[in-house]
Structure 1
């Protein structure tokens, strides 16, 4: 495998040119990994990671681009995914939903266009289920715009933006201009490119990455104009088959267990890699089995091989350190392969007062960004995850390459 460490970033103009295929071996992790290492407490882990500075970083399936490199790029765009691939992500994600004409597109939710695109400032605002309403003394600003109200062509006409809204806004402009202070609009000033699911397959293949599409829960009632949930799940798989993508390179995801079981039954080769997503819920205690919803042995018996819990489910705090949780140990003991999500999503850990939701089980001991690699190391070594989603894949790619992970 060819590797290049700290290569110069290439112009985005190449994204749409034939030169893109020549960049699959260019890996650029930038300064962030060393920024995080600088803030770590002294010890063997810091010494190991620091010693890898300047060494080659390779593309690794352990590093999964969460909606691309969306900490700084508009999510689910060509540019976000090219950035993720250049940061070493070996698997890229398209969250899959559908349009009015039943075409599959990459969006985190079917009803997020008002926060992720410029739809409210275009004539297509008239299609929004909930038109923009300004904030008043007792009501926040609101809007809801869905892909299911647009054709594929209409969807592709929109301009992506950083996912954000200003609930105190009294104008559309202020409502859309709300990017978190720790993110950036730097890579959204010039228009980025929305994708259909089929286009994401073509792009990810050209980038040398594998695929992890997530079948999103529809905002519309199903069946939708005769389009059933099973039709939806099958169409996702059919687009990989039409593109000639081997089933072993596709890790289809869903929070809906019935989708996973459908793939296992109807498309067993793809179903073998299907990823069942679960998340922290009210009342959950990572150390108390009575609070867990998942029957690990039952899932395995039904043919589920991959479980993807949020990070806070897989770790806990013990004597001031981040360690594997009892939940993680039980899932592994049942023979489930674990993937987790999503690193670099919380913003600066000190500023969040413990890291926020993603650090629910360890908030009491989180006080600096330097602990991010302690978390990654615990997930990799003690929990034994096989992949980690990140909003900034360079962080994970650096760790994986340093530790010799594939």
Structure 2
């Protein structure tokens, strides 16, 4: 846990904003990408073989920025997600594409948050006067009842939102106090970089920053936590406003991979903004349907051919949906094979979000749990996704891992 003095600094909102100019950062990125020790830490834990030898042989080769490496919320393994600092860290680690999850405020301005209703876990709102505006103010845990709280971007104006500070995404549902609730970062993450960072971003600000860092864009239109229309703001208005902010910034559609779990959002872009719709990403959450099985097409709501016929060109399921185990080896799933056969491109999410893999890897590794017994499996999975499944990009909470692999393999 972060020392109480460090937490108090964050809570008080006195964290210092990094002063290095974006121009300076961008110039440095043009010269070199820094991936640190983690990629080779993972390679060292792989079973001996040709892949390990290949990855080790790249240790002395400079890593290049690559579109194959996508910064999932920036670099939230160690930096508060969707903050300026997290985006800069992702770019420094070679992520060629960086994600802003898009939510909206009470005055219908677009901001970067993973969910419209996550401010209580991703910011310091509970330790500010704005806590009184939360949809569900903090109620401490009592007996068998967990703590209850829900704070939405739509509870605040844009100015109020920007007065907050980002923190590592966590909340302790057993907590009896606000301080205990906020002080809950997982042991395999860190608060080391949270005490003096946490600058929140509007969607428009993220466009300007990522552009200046030399990156490209993958905004995700988040499912609203409020009923739509919201004060006359329709779902279609929301989808259009996201695209309009790229057009206003002069960003070409070819540099933007707009995403949504809502198929209707993707189809809206296909119809009304075809240049952007051509590479809009359908985040497939069919796994939430009871009985759905990536190995059994009869359980799927849409066939891959159906999606392609609708105008969907890119599909993005979680890691585990694309792979299975045969004879002790990771191989593509039926889902992955069908998507490729239908001519769909594939992106997947999210590497480096599971903590140490020694106990099976959890949710993201469920289809290969039987052979997931250590962190070396991560690079093996990335290789199968790249070479056998043929994904065009991988979201990661620590982009250095994917950047190192992609650069070593010559992926663009």
TM-score range, shorter chain: over 0.9
Match of 2:27 among 6, 22, 29: 22
* Aligned: 1:319 with 2:324: no
Unmatched segments (≥5 aa) in structure 1: 1-10
**CA deviation map 1:58-91 (0-9, x unaligned):** 0000000000000000000000010000000000
Within 2, Cα distance between the matches of 1:54 and 1:145? 47
**Displacement of 1:16 after TM fit?**
4.1
| Aligned equivalent of 2:266 | 260
| Aligned equivalent of 1:194 | 200
What does residue range 100-111 of structure 1 map to in structure 2 within 5 Å?
A: 100-111=106-117
Aligned-partner SS, 2:138:
strand
Within 2, Cα distance between the matches of 1:306 and 1:108? 21
Within 1, Cα distance between the matches of 2:304 and 2:252? 28
**CA deviation map 1:332-390 (0-9, x unaligned):** 1000000000000011011xx21101011111111000000010000000000000000
Within 2, Cα distance between the matches of 1:273 and 1:87? 24
Within 2, Cα distance between the matches of 1:318 and 1:236? 42
Within 2, Cα distance between the matches of 1:272 and 1:237? 13
Aligned-partner SS, 2:70:
strand
Unmatched segments (≥5 aa) in structure 2: 1-15
| Aligned equivalent of 1:330 | 338
Match of 1:241 among 223, 227, 247: 247
What does residue range 209-248 of structure 1 map to in structure 2 within 5 Å?
A: 209-248=215-254
Aligned-partner SS, 2:114:
coil
8 Å contact from structure 2 (residues 17, 196) kept in 1 = no
Within 2, Cα distance between the matches of 1:325 and 1:310? 12
TM-score, normalised to structure 2, is 0.94
| Aligned equivalent of 1:398 | 404
Within 2, Cα distance between the matches of 1:355 and 1:182? 13
| Aligned equivalent of 2:183 | 177
**Displacement of 1:14 after TM fit?**
4.5
* Aligned: 1:304 with 2:309: no
| Aligned equivalent of 2:9 | none
TM-score, normalised to structure 1, is 0.95
Within 2, Cα distance between the matches of 1:217 and 1:305? 21
* Aligned: 1:150 with 2:142: no
Change in 2 beyond 3 A, CA 1:36/1:17: closer
**Displacement of 1:295 after TM fit?**
1.8
Within 2, Cα distance between the matches of 1:13 and 1:69? 16
Aligned-partner SS, 1:401:
helix
Within 2, Cα distance between the matches of 1:13 and 1:117? 18
Comparing 82-91 with 281-290, greater Cα deviation is found at 281-290
Within 2, Cα distance between the matches of 1:164 and 1:190? 18
Within 2, Cα distance between the matches of 1:292 and 1:54? 45
What does residue range 6-405 of structure 1 map to in structure 2 within 5 Å?
A: 13-16=18-21, 18-25=23-30, 26-279=32-285, 280-281=287-288, 282-350=290-358, 353-405=359-411
Change in 2 beyond 3 A, CA 1:307/1:15: farther
Within 1, Cα distance between the matches of 2:55 and 2:74? 24
CA RMSD of aligned residues (A): 1.2
Aligned-partner SS, 2:376:
helix
**Displacement of 1:17 after TM fit?**
5.4
| Aligned equivalent of 2:11 | none
Within 2, Cα distance between the matches of 1:386 and 1:14? 35
Within 2, Cα distance between the matches of 1:310 and 1:197? 24
Within 1, Cα distance between the matches of 2:129 and 2:326? 55
8 Å contact from structure 1 (residues 74, 160) kept in 2 = yes
**Displacement of 1:56 after TM fit?**
1.1
**CA deviation map 1:296-342 (0-9, x unaligned):** 11111111100001111100011111111111000110000000000
| Aligned equivalent of 2:10 | none
Within 1, Cα distance between the matches of 2:186 and 2:214? 31
**Displacement of 1:285 after TM fit?**
2.3
